[in-house]
Amino acid sequence: MTLVQLRHFVGLAETGTFVQASRALFLTQPALTRSIQALEDELGGRLFDRLGRRIALTPFGGEVLQRAKRLVADAEALKQTGRGLHAGLIGTLRIGLSSGPGALLSTRLMMHMAEHHPRLQLHISRGNTGVLIDALREQHLDGAVVDARSVLPSADLQITNTFELEAGFLVRLDHPLARRKRPVTIEEVLQFPIASTPLSDEVARLMIDRYGPQANPDDMVTLRSDETLNIVDVARNSHAVVLTANAAAQGLVPLNMSPPLNATARFGLVTLAQRQEAPALRILREQLPYLVAEFSAYRVP
For residues 113 and 120, the answer to whether their CB atoms sit within 8 Å is yes
Question: How far is 291 from 284, CA to CA, in rounded Å?
Answer: 9
Residue 88: the pLDDT is 42
Task: Tell me: do 146 and 283 sit in the same domain.
Answer: yes
Inside any domain, residue 298:
no
Question: What CATH number is attached to the domain comprising 9?
Answer: 1.10.10.10
Inside any domain, residue 58:
yes
Total domains, the chain: 3
Inside any domain, residue 61:
yes
Instruction: Find the distance separating the first CA and the last CA of the chain, reported in whole Å.
Output: 46
Question: How far is 195 from 170, CA to CA, in rounded Å?
Answer: 10
Share of the chain above pLDDT 90, in %: 58
Residue 289: the pLDDT is 87
Question: How far is 27 from 277, CA to CA, in rounded Å?
Answer: 31
Task: Tell me: do 259 and 169 sit in the same domain.
Answer: yes
Identify the bridge partners of residue 268 per DSSP, sorted by sequence position: 146
Task: Tell me: do 126 and 174 sit in the same domain.
Answer: no
Residue 301: the pLDDT is 34
Residue 269: the pLDDT is 97
Give residue-wise pLDDT tens across range 164-199: 899 999 999 999 999 888 999 999 999 999 999 988
Inside any domain, residue 283:
yes
Residue 86: the pLDDT is 45
Q: Which DSSP symbol is given to 279?
A: T
Residue among 115, 52, 103, 123 nearest 280 (CA): 123
Question: How far is 71 from 74, CA to CA, in rounded Å?
Answer: 5
Task: Tell me: do 271 and 159 sit in the same domain.
Answer: yes
Inside any domain, residue 301:
no
Give residue-wise pLDDT tens across range 110-130: 999 999 888 888 999 999 999
Identify the bridge partners of residue 163 per DSSP, sorted by sequence position: 267
Owning domain of residue 23: 3-82
pTM of the complete model: 0.67
Task: Tell me: do 132 and 102 sit in the same domain.
Answer: yes
Task: Tell me: do 65 and 141 sit in the same domain.
Answer: no
Give residue-wise pLDDT tens across range 27-84: 999 999 999 999 999 999 999 988 777 889 999 989 999 889 988 888 877 776 555 5
Task: Tell me: do 68 and 207 sit in the same domain.
Answer: no
Task: Tell me: do 37 and 157 sit in the same domain.
Answer: no
Question: What CATH number is attached to the domain comprising 147?
Answer: 3.40.190.10
Task: Tell me: do 247 and 103 sit in the same domain.
Answer: no
Give residue-wise pLDDT tens across range 27-38: 999 999 999 999
Inside any domain, residue 299:
no
* Residue 284 neighbours by CB under 8 Å, 6+ apart: 93, 95, 109, 143, 145, 269
Task: Tell me: do 259 and 133 sit in the same domain.
Answer: no
Inside any domain, residue 124:
yes
Question: How far is 272 from 76, CA to CA, in rounded Å?
Answer: 17
For residues 239 and 120, the answer to whether their CB atoms sit within 8 Å is no
Beta strands per DSSP E along the chain:
48-51, 54-57, 91-97, 120-126, 143-147, 157-172, 194-196, 223-224, 241-245, 252-254, 263-272
Residue 244: the pLDDT is 94
Inside any domain, residue 300:
no
Residue among 37, 61, 35 nearest 48 (CA): 61
Choosing from 38, 57, 82, the residue where a domain stops is 82
Task: Tell me: do 171 and 29 sit in the same domain.
Answer: no
- Could you tell me the CA-to-CA distances from 255 to 80, 219, 258, 286 in Å, in that order? 49, 20, 9, 34
Choosing from 82, 100, 116, the residue where a domain stops is 82
Q: Is the pLDDT score of 204 beyond 80?
A: yes
Q: Is the pLDDT score of 207 beyond 90?
A: yes
Residue 82: the pLDDT is 58
Task: Tell me: do 44 and 173 sit in the same domain.
Answer: no
pLDDT range class, residue 295, cuts 50, 70, 90:
low
Question: What CATH number is attached to the domain comprising 235?
Answer: 3.40.190.290
Question: How far is 280 from 81, CA to CA, in rounded Å?
Answer: 9
